[in-house]
């Protein structure tokens, strides 16, 4: 017995890689804070610090923080600063970014043993 072996040709679909199937993201241009906007954001942070009474209790450390914030308003350079508030067991963390994706922020963190 001879088997009749005919192969049926099927059309092969071209396989596309996942990369080519995904839609490509369009990169948005980076937007930076204008000096007036930076000044407004920093004034809000300074006002909240004064309301909490932090500059009165820690004048040396807050003078340093205010100086860094003023530099940020002038230059717009990124700043990441940690200032220890001795006696209160707290760390004052300033995160200032010139990029509009990030808001300038100031945080008081509790750290035992400072």
Residue 69 belongs to domain spanning: 29-110
Name residue, tokens 């199937």.
Answer: 21
Residue 24 in domain: no
- Answer whether residue 2 shows pLDDT above 80: no
Tell me what pLDDT residue 112 has: 84
Residue 106 in domain: yes
Length of the chain: 114
Residue 86 in domain: yes
Give the pLDDT confidence of 5-54 residue by residue, as tens digits. 566 655 555 555 665 666 778 888 889 989 999 999 999 999 999 998 98
| Number of independent structural domains in the chain | 1
Closest CA to 92 of 75, 102, 60, 73: 60
For the whole model, what pTM was predicted?
Answer: 0.72
Residue 88 in domain: yes
Residue 41 in domain: yes
Residue 4 in domain: no
């Amino acid at each position: 017995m001879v088997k009749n072996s005919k192969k049926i040709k099927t059309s092969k679909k071209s396989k596309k890689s996942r990369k080519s199937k995904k839609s490509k993201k369009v990169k948005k241009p980076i937007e930076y804070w204008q000096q007036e906007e930076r000044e407004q954001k920093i004034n809000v942070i300074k006002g909240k610090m004064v309301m909490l009474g932090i500059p009165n209790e820690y004048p040396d450390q807050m003078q340093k923080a205010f100086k860094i914030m003023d530099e940020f308003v002038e230059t717009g350079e990124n700043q990441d600063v940690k200032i220890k508030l001795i006696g209160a067991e707290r760390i004052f963390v300033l995160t200032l970014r010139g990029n509009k994706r990030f808001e300038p922020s100031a945080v008081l963190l509790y750290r035992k043993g400072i």
